[in-house]
Amino acid sequence: MSAYFIVESAISVAQSLGVSQTVIGATIVAFGTSLPELTLDLKAILKGHSALAFGDIIGSSFVNITLILGISFFVPAVVGSTVDIDISVFQNIIIFSIITNLLFWYFLSRERIGWKEGAIFLFTYALFLATTFGTLQPHD
């Protein structure tokens, strides 16, 4: 319920500020739909169940990428309409997804993910937000 409120409020604020729907979808909606996993993961880590938190993060990411994206493209095809995608809109998201995945697998290969790695992920996300807001704003 709180995630729904946060998402709806943030969308209203972003739309009133003239933020594009792509930026809203890539940041606000993604954050709001990830809040339940975040709370579960924080509770699990605080109780000493880091494997549960890690499994939830990986599992929810794969489900979101494969199942949700697959259904989103499959249903219109079943109904008989086509899906036209302007991939250039998603260029920033694709680049940062690749960077994040490469960092993640590098950290996993070292068998250690601590606060320094977390700070690197947060910095990467802040860089993603900065470049997304900077490149998707209308230019005069």
d(C-alpha 108, C-alpha 58), whole Å: 12
User: In this structure, which amino acid lies at residue 70?
Assistant: G
Residue from 49, 28, 45, 22 nearest 136 by CA? 22
pLDDT surpassing 80 at residue 126: yes
d(C-alpha 64, C-alpha 44), whole Å: 21
Position 123 scores a pLDDT of 92
What are the pLDDT digits (tens) for 20-35?
A: 766 676 666 677 777 7
Position 26 scores a pLDDT of 63
d(C-alpha 89, C-alpha 91), whole Å: 6
Instruction: Encode 36-48: b = buried (16+ Cβ within 10 Å), e = exposed.
Output: ebeeebeebeeee
pLDDT surpassing 60 at residue 140: no
What are the pLDDT digits (tens) for 34-72?
A: 778 888 888 988 998 888 887 887 787 777 777 777 777
Residue from 52, 54, 46 nearest 107 by CA? 54
Burial of residue 10, with CB atoms counted within 10 A of its CB: 0-12 exposed, 13-18 middle, 19 or more buried: middle
Could you tell me the pTM of the whole model? Answer: 0.54
Instruction: Say if residues 37 and 60 touch (Cβ distance below 8 Å).
Output: yes
What are the pLDDT digits (tens) for 62-117?
A: 777 777 777 777 777 777 777 676 667 677 778 888 888 888 888 888 877 788 88
Residues 6 or more apart in contact with residue 10 via CB below 8 angstroms:
24, 28, 31, 32
pLDDT surpassing 60 at residue 135: no
